Amino acid sequence: MTNQPTNHQLQSPINARDTGAGGYSVAGYRDQILGSLKRRHAELLNINRQLNLALERIIAEQDESLSLV
């Protein structure tokens, strides 16, 4: 008998029952990493918005000071 994958294994390459080091599921690791990436992405978007607003204020101040000259 050979070690051929079953149809179920072929249909779902990442099986929630597959475990990695320490017995944690591969799907669990994937979900944890995905959640972390989504949170970090939201944080970076917020930082980007704040930087854009600050840059707009600086540009507006520069425009005002140039118009006074």
Domain boundaries, the chain: 7-68
pLDDT of residue 28: 86
Q: What is the pTM of this model?
A: 0.56
- Residue 67: is its pLDDT beyond 60? yes
Residue 12 CA neighbour count, 13 Å, CB half? 8
- C-alpha to C-alpha distance for 33 and 40, rounded to whole angstroms: 11
Split at pLDDT 50, 70, 90, the class of 6 is: low
The string of pLDDT tens digits covering residues 21-66 is 666 688 888 999 999 999 999 999 999 999 999 999 999 999 888 8
- Say how many Å lie between the first and final Cα of the chain, rounded: 88
Please give the pLDDT value at position 48.
98
Cα–Cα separations (whole angstroms), residue 40 to 22, 34, 44, 59, 66: 26, 10, 6, 28, 39
CB 21 within 8 A of CB 15: no
